[in-house]
Chain A
Amino acid sequence: MKVMIRGNESIAYAFKLARVKVIPAYPITPSTLVPEKISEFIANGEMDAEFVTVESEHSAISAAIGASAHGVRVGTATASQGLALMHEVLFIASGMRLPIVMGIGNRALSAPINIWCDHQDMMAERDTGWMQFYAESNQEGLDLGIMAYRIAEDERILLPAMVGIDAFVLTHTVEPVELPEQKDVDDFIGEFVPHYVTLDPEKPATLGSFGFPEHYMEFKYGQWIAMERAKKVIDEVFQEFEERFGRKYKRVYPEFMEDAEIVLITMGSMTSTTREFVRRLRAQGKKVGLLKLTTFRPFPKEELKALLKDVKVAAVVERNISFGFGGAVYGELAATFANEERKPRILDFIVGLGGRDITFKTLEEVVKIAEKAEKGEDVDEVNWIDVNKEAVLKAEGLL
């Protein structure tokens, strides 16, 4: 059934179709509509679940752990400051190997406070042991939300997962979305079976024990193994999803790649803009390709090596920054190729922070610099695009 819904509703529908039983959530722009929609579903009798109106995001994820540990399917949603507030508990959810799924309305972090789109919030949590998916559209938000349960609950993985939908561009924008039938989703995800030890008076177990140096590292290695195995499981689930529902997903989605010399690498909604831009460049005869990362964690090293090894310039276009270094995707891509013989020149383009629009003009700048690099000219490795640098340098006392 095709519906016209916002990205936030996609996440809410994913929870509904996945028959999520407990949703502890706290409002924050731009993800607020997710718990509001859940409240509506429950009030209408469309959803048999408990919505816990917790008093902060930290308590939201803590309650999610409690519910998941007691053996039910759990979901929550947040963004930006709320996700940052959850930080310490995110590591715990992963360390406890609980398959919690969380929708993130990718939004910039303070200071200054900003409610618009960038990927800093989810990027800042890339070390937590959560799988991370970025949606390009509301359809992807829904599909990835549903698939996340199947993937997270897989007994080969048992790690929590985040699905990012861009603030306002997706969360608040109405798009046509194909809603799968409930029985098809039931068939696809299956009934919730906890493949992990739960809180059960019939089988009293201790969860969240104290790990001394003798054991701690082994538990962490277990998470590492799970994250490695996730690559194969995600591919399997994507494959099965395509067979059942007809929509294709790949951990790295290549387009316009044959004989590409410059490749733009993107995540999230800006991929749509970039695709159209690349299509026009190709029409002009320029050999430009496009890679979309749907999965950021686990980082698709093998796929990127295979796709980019013969490319001249890999231009990472990203909406996050690690001060004192550069963007995260750039950093991880560079590390991926560090020991490879054949590798592209890897450039970092910081764009769209705090909701600054990414337009064809932005991408023109990116390609201009990439073309310079292709010719062997000297360019900066980390480039901030569309920024009033003069005003900043003045403020910093440099002009």
Chain B
Amino acid sequence: MNYEKEEFFAPGHGMCAGCAAPIIVRWVLKLAGPNTIVVNATGCLEVATTAYPRTSWRVPWMHVAFENAAAAASGIEAAAKVKGEKLNIIAFGGDGGTADIGFQALSGMVERGHNVLYVLYDNEAYMNTGIQRSGATPWGAWTTTSKVGNANPIGKLEPKKPMARIIAAHNAKYVATANPAFFQDFKKKVQKALSYEGPKFLHVISSCTTGWRHDPSKTIEIMKLATDTGLFPLWEVIDGDLENMRITYKPKKFKPIEEYLKPQGRFRHLLKNPEYVKKIQEQIDAWWAKYGHHYHK
């Protein structure tokens, strides 16, 4: 059954105007359909959509704590198994609740092989608590805990934790990076993930107008640039076979990274120094030099 015309996510929530997370959620739910249970880690999405007594969710939904969405989902899956039920169990977590504090529970869930789809909506910082850096924050980003000044003109000094690769290395059934701005690719990956039994992981880029400091109307445009500059490549891996990773989109002509950095306040300081921009561009070029052959038309 096709549920794309139905809305399983209701308006009236408190997500920022122009937030990408609800776009991701709306479509994951449409593609999963009503026979679905959602677990949500603490974060923007959870807090802004379930302020008692109102909820935006039209599917059964549960929030427990920040670091245990994957563990709670494992418990639901075990209960469903023992009851002989067939349904979708989907966990939503931000980069905080997934790459950092939620890492252990996710790693355990995947290792045990639970039939759960975990969707990481990655806005690259602890946004709900006011833009603090996470393991998923990219090198060079300003955040409130990687501030920029004379002693540190860069911002975050550490590279972005490669969550999708890590979970692929766990031999999860299906792992993919996805971008709502590449809508058909995103939809295909959600559907593909849901078609498998076992642990599935989608790393979805989710731009944040408030934390990335950009014009809310540019949300889709900026996410598009993330991939068109080659910074956020779109790929999928099945059964942990990283050697046969499939890149699902390659820009015909890569846009220069400045185009992505410029509209975002969190990178404004980087543009002052061409060395830093060059460093990021080099990292992108290196990634594509190493993995680009995984793209087949």
A–B in direct contact per CB < 8 Å: yes
Binding site for B on A (CB under 8 A): 21-22, 24, 48-50, 52-56, 58-60, 62-72, 74, 88-89, 92, 96, 198-201, 203-212, 215
A-B contact pairs, 10 of them (CB 8 A): A21-B79, A24-B74, A52-B78, A55-B104, A59-B74, A60-B71, A65-B75, A69-B72, A206-B50, A206-B61
- Whether, in the assembled complex, B160 has its beta carbon less than 8 Å from a beta carbon of chain A, the answer is no
- Chain A residues near B47 (CB, 8 Å)? 210
Other-chain contact of B75, A24, A92, A209, A210 (Cβ < 8 Å):
A24
Provide the bound-state CA to CA distance between A96 and B52, in Å.
13
Instruction: Please tell me if the beta carbons of B60 and A199 are within 8 angstroms of each other in the complex.
Output: yes
- Chain A residues near B221 (CB, 8 Å)? none
- Chain B residues near A62 (CB, 8 Å)? 64-65, 68, 71-72, 75, 105
Binary flags per residue of B45-72, CB closer than 8 Å to A gives 1, else 0? 0110011110101111111110110111
Provide the bound-state CA to CA distance between A45 and B104, in Å.
31
Q: Which of A48, A50, A63 has the most CB of B within 10 A?
A: A63
Closest 9 CB pairs of A and B: A66-B75, A63-B75, A55-B108, A59-B71, A208-B63, A62-B68, A62-B71, A66-B72, A206-B55
Which B-chain residue is minimally distant from A211 (CB atoms)? B52
Which B-chain residue is minimally distant from A63 (CB atoms)? B75
- Chain A residues near B55 (CB, 8 Å)? 206, 209
Instruction: Please tell me if the beta carbons of B72 and A65 are within 8 angstroms of each other in the complex.
Output: yes
How many chain B residues touch A (CB < 8 A): the figure is 44
Least CB distance from B3 to A in Å reads 12
Which A-chain residue is minimally distant from B8 (CB atoms)? A204
Instruction: Please tell me if the beta carbons of B51 and A212 are within 8 angstroms of each other in the complex.
Output: yes
Q: Given A55-B108, A65-B75: A199 and B51 within 8 A (CB)?
A: no
Q: Given A22-B79, A50-B81: A209 and B108 within 8 A (CB)?
A: no
Q: Which of A74, A205, A209 has the most CB of B within 10 A?
A: A209
Other-chain contact of A201, B74, B87, B105 (Cβ < 8 Å):
B87
Which A-chain residue is minimally distant from B67 (CB atoms)? A58
Other-chain contact of B62, A55, A66, A71, A89 (Cβ < 8 Å):
A66
Other-chain contact of A92, B51, B59, B64 (Cβ < 8 Å):
B64
- Whether, in the assembled complex, B73 has its beta carbon less than 8 Å from a beta carbon of chain A, the answer is yes
Other-chain contact of A22, B58, B78, B105 (Cβ < 8 Å):
B78
- Chain B residues near A215 (CB, 8 Å)? 52-53
Least CB distance from B131 to A in Å reads 20
Provide the bound-state CA to CA distance between A70 and B73, in Å.
10
Q: Given A53-B112, A201-B35, A209-B52: A67 and B78 within 8 A (CB)?
A: yes
Instruction: Please tell me if the beta carbons of A22 and B60 are within 8 angstroms of each other in the complex.
Output: no
Least CB distance from B228 to A in Å reads 37
Least CB distance from B77 to A in Å reads 8
Q: Given A49-B82, A52-B74: A210 and B68 within 8 A (CB)?
A: no
Other CB < 8 Å A-B pairs besides A62-B68, A69-B62, A88-B65, 19 of them?
A: A22-B75, A49-B82, A54-B74, A59-B105, A62-B64, A62-B72, A62-B105, A63-B72, A63-B75, A66-B71, A66-B76, A68-B79, A70-B76, A72-B82, A74-B75, A205-B60, A208-B50, A209-B50, A210-B46
Q: Given A55-B107, A56-B108: A92 and B65 within 8 A (CB)?
A: yes
- Chain A residues near B35 (CB, 8 Å)? 201
Provide the bound-state CA to CA distance between A70 and B79, in Å.
6
Provide the bound-state CA to CA distance between A215 and B54, in Å.
12
- Whether, in the assembled complex, B111 has its beta carbon less than 8 Å from a beta carbon of chain A, the answer is yes
- Whether, in the assembled complex, B166 has its beta carbon less than 8 Å from a beta carbon of chain A, the answer is no
- Chain B residues near A59 (CB, 8 Å)? 68, 70-71, 74, 104-105, 108
* Residues 114-163 of B contacting A (Cβ, < 8 Å): none
Provide the bound-state CA to CA distance between A215 and B52, in Å.
8
Least CB distance from A150 to B in Å reads 20
Which B-chain residue is minimally distant from A66 (CB atoms)? B75
- Whether, in the assembled complex, B39 has its beta carbon less than 8 Å from a beta carbon of chain A, the answer is yes
Instruction: Please tell me if the beta carbons of B64 and A199 are within 8 angstroms of each other in the complex.
Output: no
Instruction: Please tell me if the beta carbons of A66 and B74 are within 8 angstroms of each other in the complex.
Output: yes
Provide the bound-state CA to CA distance between A208 and B63, in Å.
5
Least CB distance from A335 to B in Å reads 31
Which A-chain residue is minimally distant from B68 (CB atoms)? A62
Least CB distance from A106 to B in Å reads 25
Which A-chain residue is minimally distant from B91 (CB atoms)? A66
Least CB distance from A259 to B in Å reads 53
Provide the bound-state CA to CA distance between A96 and B64, in Å.
9
- Chain B residues near A52 (CB, 8 Å)? 74-75, 78, 112
- Chain A residues near B71 (CB, 8 Å)? 24, 54, 58-60, 62-63, 66
Instruction: Please tell me if the beta carbons of A204 and B108 are within 8 angstroms of each other in the complex.
Output: no
Instruction: Please tell me if the beta carbons of A207 and B76 are within 8 angstroms of each other in the complex.
Output: no
- Chain A residues near B80 (CB, 8 Å)? 70
Provide the bound-state CA to CA distance between A67 and B108, in Å.
16
- Chain A residues near B57 (CB, 8 Å)? 204, 206
- Chain A residues near B83 (CB, 8 Å)? 21, 70-72
Least CB distance from A379 to B in Å reads 46
